[in-house]
A and B are shown apart, each in its own frame.
Chain A
Amino acid sequence: MYTEKVMDHFSHPRNMGEVEGANGIGMVGNAKCGDIMQMFLKVNDSGIIEDVGFKTFGCGAAVATSSMATELIKGKSIDEALKLTNSAVVEALEGLPPQKLHCSVLAEQAVRAAIDNYYDRKSGKTDCECNCVNCEGEEEHHDIPEE
């Protein structure tokens, strides 16, 4: 069902875990839907993503797309990271089964949510430590469903 690349990223996820000193954190998805992705960014003064990490609750594709998304934006500028599309993630993974494409969309949204949080914090718009969006795209601040 999955490509070798997907299985590789699933069994050896890159950049897994929280990032110390992260200044942009976003979380998308919803446990009810079966997928939650949390993205941690550490952006330096020149707007380069120095470090990135993720945490994911979800299926193999959800883990692999998060992992791949972190690889694709690590070391890139914020502007470049904003251009990351779900199809780029899918392509880098050498394809996903059709019913799993929504995972790649979630990965793209997770990166955006983390960048939004970075900008919000920078402009003082929020003290919120994380931008959270549920799977319908509605904001869901800190409301992490736990059974």
Chain B
Amino acid sequence: MRRVYMDNAATTSLNKEVLNAMIPYLTDIYGNPSSLHYFGQQAHTAVENARHQVASALGAADNEIIFTGCGTESDNMALKGVAEKYQNKGKHIITSSVEHHAILHTCQYLEKHGFEITYLPVDEYGMIKAEQVRNAIREDTILVSIMFGNNEVGTIMPIKEIGEICHERSVIFHTDAVQAVGHVEIDVKKMNIDMLSLSAHKLHGPKGVGALYIRKGLIIPPLLHGGAQERKRRAGTENVAGIVGLGKAIELACTDITGNAQRMSSLRDKLIAGIESSIPEVKLNGHRTERLPGNVNFSIKYIEGESILLMLDINGIAASSGSACTSGSLDPSHVLLAMGMPHETAHGSVRLTLGDETTEEDIDYVLSVLPEIVMKLRKMSPLYHG
């Protein structure tokens, strides 16, 4: 059966070149980067080379990059680190209501420890306006954390403007850029970003490795205590092969990021236009233009998301949904609800996310299968009277 993977926001395939770059560090070069001998120094060099690749991709300096175990760890380190360090200055943090759970649940944890969090509401496109941040900043605000691009609906936030406001008011600005790095051009200096979280497996790198950019001069306590790795900011023996993979993956993704983004957005727009013209009563979720190049998210009326996913899977297409049934809770996606969508429509959402390997034929295949699936499920639905 033909298999089409359209869940690249969940994770991506490992690029072959990335794998080849990693293999020596899973085989011959097994030294501990902290060791002084030849074996250790070979690994050390590889880690530092990868640090340079990551830094270059973000417009940062090498010593501003900390390797972590995943995007979630980067987010936890940023939020908990700033909270701990600056709690004497204030205990107020600003974020958005559509963040990934790695941010939202960390904020809830901080609330239990006496911090006050402002969750900025979004508009119907899942967008924050920079002015909302300005209006929410108080004397005791120590941190603003707003995601770069939304993982569910793909909306890209006005990061540069938000950063500008934060800097005017001397508030630290963190962005969870896990979905954006390698897909959208990012320059941390030009965009006024103080901290940025990223993850390798969202850009055709390996799982189990991420990074946190921390602007020079900003020093936050570590999340993990132990050895002196990462200049005492993140203890634990480095995942050398993973770090090498992250370096290679980000380098490949950023070599022609504009060209790649253009290629992917045109496939994305073809899929969006195809769905809109072949299936009645659908609604594109998220912003039409301020959108991650690989993200397509629709609400399909009268039917439920998990059923759509199962039917797509039977036909070889891997997708995802914001329906409650796929999350294991009774509530559908917090992102769709925050955008003001009624529960019943949010249950019927489907997300298709493109990757480097997505072809035009894949898009055509999805467009040849999805309308039939929708018709079959609508026929089964007591809500549909078409």
Give the Cβ gap from B382 to chain A, nearest Cβ, in Å. Answer: 4
Contacts A31-B343, A99-B328, A145-B344 given: A13-B380 contact, CB under 8 Å?
Answer: yes
Contacting residues, chain A, for B328 (C-beta < 8 A)? 99
Contacting residues, chain B, for A11 (C-beta < 8 A)? 310-311, 314
Q: Considering only CB atoms, which chain B residue lies closest to A61 in the complex? A: B325
Interface membership of B174, Cβ < 8 A: no
CB atoms of A147 and B382 under 8 A apart: no
Proximity string of chain A (36-63) to chain B, C-beta cutoff 8 Å, 1 when within and 0 when not: 1110000000000000000111111111
CB atoms of B383 and A60 under 8 A apart: no
Proximity string of chain A (52-84) to chain B, C-beta cutoff 8 Å, 1 when within and 0 when not: 000111111111000000000000000000000
Proximity string of chain B (144-162) to chain A, C-beta cutoff 8 Å, 1 when within and 0 when not: 0000000000000000000
Interface membership of B97, Cβ < 8 A: no
Select B330's contact among A10, A33, A146, beta carbons within 8 Å.
A33
Interface membership of A89, Cβ < 8 A: no
CB atoms of A59 and B382 under 8 A apart: no
CB atoms of B307 and A146 under 8 A apart: no
Select A34's contact among B323, B380, B382, beta carbons within 8 Å.
B323
CB atoms of B347 and A31 under 8 A apart: yes
A60–B311 alpha-carbon span in the complex (Å): 9
A100–B306 alpha-carbon span in the complex (Å): 12
Interface membership of A144, Cβ < 8 A: yes
Interface residues in B207-266 by Cβ distance below 8 A to A read: none
Segment with Cβ contacts to A, from B16-24, B32-40, B297-305: B297-305
CB atoms of B325 and A57 under 8 A apart: no
Q: Considering only CB atoms, which chain A residue lies closest to B321 in the complex? A: A59
Contacting residues, chain B, for A34 (C-beta < 8 A)? 304, 323-325, 330, 332, 343-344, 347
CB atoms of A147 and B345 under 8 A apart: yes
Q: Considering only CB atoms, which chain A residue lies closest to B306 in the complex? A: A59
Select A58's contact among B307, B343, B379, beta carbons within 8 Å.
B307
Give the Cβ gap from A134 to chain B, nearest Cβ, in Å. Answer: 12
Interface residues in A19-35 by Cβ distance below 8 A to B read: 27, 31-35
Select A31's contact among B325, B326, B383, beta carbons within 8 Å.
B383
Contacting residues, chain B, for A144 (C-beta < 8 A)? 382-383
Most buried by B among A31, A34, A58, A144: A34
Size class of B's contact patch? Answer: 20 to 34
Interface membership of A105, Cβ < 8 A: no
Select A146's contact among B303, B310, B383, beta carbons within 8 Å.
B383
Contacts A11-B314, A58-B325, A99-B328 given: A32-B382 contact, CB under 8 Å?
Answer: no
Select B302's contact among A10, A32, A35, A57, beta carbons within 8 Å.
A57
Give the Cβ gap from B384 to chain A, nearest Cβ, in Å. Answer: 8
CB atoms of A60 and B307 under 8 A apart: yes
A36–B311 alpha-carbon span in the complex (Å): 19
CB atoms of A55 and B380 under 8 A apart: yes
Interface membership of B368, Cβ < 8 A: no
Contacting residues, chain A, for B302 (C-beta < 8 A)? 57
A58–B311 alpha-carbon span in the complex (Å): 13
Interface residues in A78-124 by Cβ distance below 8 A to B read: 99-100
Give the Cβ gap from B106 to chain A, nearest Cβ, in Å. Answer: 25
CB atoms of A56 and B325 under 8 A apart: no
Contacting residues, chain A, for B325 (C-beta < 8 A)? 34, 58-61, 100
CB atoms of B306 and A57 under 8 A apart: no
Contacting residues, chain B, for A147 (C-beta < 8 A)? 301, 342, 344-345
Interface membership of B45, Cβ < 8 A: no
Interface residues in B278-329 by Cβ distance below 8 A to A read: 301-307, 310-311, 314, 323-326, 328
A32–B380 alpha-carbon span in the complex (Å): 18
Give the Cβ gap from B376 to chain A, nearest Cβ, in Å. Answer: 10
Select A27's contact among B301, B326, B382, beta carbons within 8 Å.
B382
CB atoms of B382 and A56 under 8 A apart: yes
Q: Considering only CB atoms, which chain B residue lies closest to A135 in the complex? A: B330
Interface membership of B170, Cβ < 8 A: no
Select A60's contact among B301, B306, B324, B345, beta carbons within 8 Å.
B306
CB atoms of B381 and A32 under 8 A apart: no
Q: List 8 A-B contacts (CB under 8 A).
A: A11-B310, A33-B330, A33-B343, A36-B383, A57-B383, A63-B307, A100-B325, A144-B383
In order of increasing CB-CB distance, the 4 nearest A-B pairs are A31-B344, A59-B325, A59-B306, A38-B382
List A residues at the B interface (Cβ < 8 Å): 7, 10-11, 13, 16-17, 27, 31-38, 55-63, 99-100, 144-147
List B residues at the A interface (Cβ < 8 Å): 301-307, 310-311, 314, 323-326, 328, 330, 332, 342-345, 347, 379-383
